[in-house]
Each structure stands twice: as C-alpha cells, then as structure tokens.
Amino acid sequence: MSNDARIEQFRKMTETDPRDELAWMSLGNAYAEAGRHQEAAQTFQRVLALNSQLSKGYESLGRAQIACGDKELAKQTLRNGYLIAHKKGDLMPKNAMEAMLKEIGAEVPAPAMQPVAGGAGTAVAGDGSFSCRRCGGGGPRLANRPFKGPLGEKILATVCQGCWKEWVGMGTKVINELRLPMFDPQAQETYDKHMKEFLSLDD
C-alpha cells in the first residue's frame, strides 16, 4: 500500500471516530513516513490531546518537530514526554527522548518522581536476568512463547506477562479498527509492525 493510500485510510478512520487515538497515531506515522512532517506534528498533537500520558506520542511529536526545524518546541515536548515516560516506566520512549534532547543540545530533565518499586513501571529487573523491553520491569515472564518463529522467541525472552496482556487487548483493537484480514500476509505484516512498536521490539 502506498503512503498516500495509507494516509487516506487512516484519515477516514479519524473522521469516523475523532476520539480514536490509535487511528490518529497511525495517521501521524503515515505522514512522517511520507516526509510530511508538519502534518505529522499536527496529528501527533491531536494524539496527545486525546491521551496526555502517551509517552510514544511525545516521542513522535518531538521527532516531527525536529524534522520541521522547530527545535524550541521539540525541547518542550521531549522534556514533558521524558518526565511522563519516567513516571510510567516506559523505558524505550524515555531513552529515545533522552537521545533526541542531547542531539539538539537540550538539557535532560532530572525527574523528581521515581517509578514505584515493584509496580508496572519499575525499571529494575527482579533477579538481574530479565528486563522487559517495554516497561523495564523484571517480570513475571511469559511461561511459553506466544507463537512460533523468531519473533515469538524474542517476545518470550524480552516481554513480561503484564505488557503482553496489554498488547493482546490492543492487538484486537488494531485488527478491528484497521479491518485486517489476518489470512493476508500484508495484513499480518501491518499487525506485526504495530505489535513491535507497542512492545518496543524494534531494534
């Protein structure tokens, strides 16, 4: 599917349900991939208006603002997002925003609030042998791989039960809202892309 076709698909989804943050996030990503960074930034702002606690939204908005040359706006966005990601224990967005702040010569904020020990956002692995790629926590781990293949093995090795349970619910939403026919390899590829982004599995 071309960038223009994807943009049109997601734009129609936002018109059908203007409060669907997943549709807005997908539209912003499509704009960014097409190099339409100003439109991407405006779309990610809409995402954050719907969900002000979405760490990935701040990361994506900051990246779009940098691409537009709006470094001062990006500094504010990334600082706010960094603090939210730290509070929630969203390790991958936090690290990405820290790197972007340093790249544009901005000071990384010193969070006053630490993640709650033992909570979903903790960044400390329980026994030092496992750390969830998405939340940074130490488990509990999945008992079995969710499906066959290298991706299934990667999820088993790097994703905790809590984050996988969150994805199962979000994955159903992705299939329904994007109307993905899962027998189609292209639909499976789209599904996997959302899953890897949600679980911070992109290397």
In sequence order, the 6+-apart residues with CB closer than 8 A to the CB of 164 are: 142, 146, 155, 199
Token pair 């908005």 in the structure block, residue: 61
Is the pTM here over 0.85, yes or no?
Answer: no
Give the chain's domains with CATH numbers. 1-114 (1.25.40.10), 115-203 (1.10.3880.10)
**Between the CA atoms of 128, 132, 135 and 66, what dihedral angle is there, to the nearest 10 degrees?**
110
Q: What pLDDT tens digit does each residue of the chain (203 aa) get?
A: 688 999 999 999 999 888 888 889 999 999 999 999 999 999 999 888 888 888 999 999 999 999 999 999 999 999 999 998 888 888 889 999 999 999 999 999 887 544 433 333 333 344 456 788 887 777 788 888 888 888 889 999 988 888 888 888 888 788 877 787 777 888 888 888 888 888 888 76
